[in-house]
Structure 1
């Protein structure tokens, strides 16, 4: 058997193998909601036996894509970090939805529509909602996209004036582009994207809907986004 001359090749192959199974890929996508799930919740969501879920989760934890903690009888897992979430979202955007496989039920169609309208991508907002916010920030000179994503001085003031605290510590970039897998355009991620998402949920501008990552803008959110960023309510529905 020949060995690769690239020292990273074995690790890359092992990483790809972790997501080569559809159940493990489904688990990774579900965990993009940024929350911790129990093994049982993931098993029911993916429609697999608890023993099967446990086996797959063990591989994902051993491979470094997930972290786990135990509380009493329950085993909770979540994505390892923001870099892992970025990897999953980027791969999902590259793969894209399969147009040849339309929704099988009305419920599945409704869930897909809700996810496309607005969702969380780990800890920031995505879908049409995320794109609308990104476009509005850019159009008002608060965010630059010409040389990569970066908040302008006016953008930093806007976050402060809006009461959205930006943690300026750690190695995470303040603003980062994340390719949206439904819109095929970049939305705002990084520290600023996470802070905006957290504020929107805490302030009641957005609420989670269903059991997945979908979110919707509330009437209070429509008013806030129009007042603060000039986004028309129709663009958020």
Structure 2
């Protein structure tokens, strides 16, 4: 039986500049070396060395598009692991700096490919209250309901190898929100319908008036009690 090389991951995460880059990549998009250097507060050559280490550890992949090389998280599993680590890691200047820079980011944001923050937590709790989502054995069981279709969710015909809905510990709320295929469909549909829009600030999302009305009408979620007025458009 092979032994997991936690030491390789430990080395990759043992530098504040590299963790800043990983946090920047948690919105699921790709960024250039220069953009990640600015996010980490280092020079582009230094960022290159950090990114090479992150790539060799399997956390980040690089893709060349035209003349530019873009970097992104290797996969959703990496994003989930980082979010779980963030939930138990001490909050430091990085978290406070993100809050100052983002303004209203915390109430509504994305974690890789799904909703995160207080609204995501409130949404998850509301699904549980409605009885269409059940916490069981450390996971989520999704029950058929008309609400899912109205939210743009297509339930699988049968259970797959990967859980359809995964519980993800929100790193600021210390409560669960939904990840996995269900979380991905919820965010994707909300973006496509204009219920939410991406902010210029990384990971930030704006809740629109149609989005607020949709969540209220479909699942009876009082978004105004969760997302401050300045986080809506």
The TM-score range, normalised by the shorter chain, is 0.7 to 0.9
Task: Report the secondary structure of 1:35's partner residue.
Answer: coil
SS in 2 for 1:182: coil
Quick one: distance in 1 between partners of 2:196 and 2:8? 38
Q: Which consecutive segments of 4 or more residues in structure 1 shift more than 4 A?
A: 100-104, 166-170
Report the Cα distance in structure 1 between the residues aligned to 2:227 and 2:63, rounded to whole angstroms. 37
Number of matched pairs = 225
Alignment of 1:1-237 (within 5 A): 8=3, 11-98=5-92, 103=96, 109=100, 111=102, 113-147=103-137, 148-154=139-145, 157-166=146-155, 171-234=161-224, 235-237=226-228
In 2: Cα distance, 1:170 partner to 1:145 partner:
18
Determine the C-alpha separation between the residues in 1 that align with 2:163 and 2:191: 22
Contact 1:85 1:122 in 2 (8 A): yes
1:105-150 residue CA offsets vs partner (Å, 9 max, x unmatched): xx95252x52321110110001011111101111111111143211
Q: Cα–Cα, structure 1 residues 87 and 101, in superposed 2: closer, same or farther, change >3 Å?
A: closer
TM-score (norm 2): 0.88
Tell me if the contact between 1:18 and 1:59 (Cα under 8 Å) persists in the aligned partners. yes
TM-score, normalised via structure 1 length: 0.87
Provide, for residues 60-114 of structure 1, a one-character-per-residue CA deviation record: whole Å limited to 9, x for no partner.
111111111111221111111111001110111111424x89957xx95252x52
Q: Report the Cα offset of residue 233 of structure 1.
A: 3.2
Question: What is the aligned-residue RMSD (CA, Å)?
Answer: 2.3
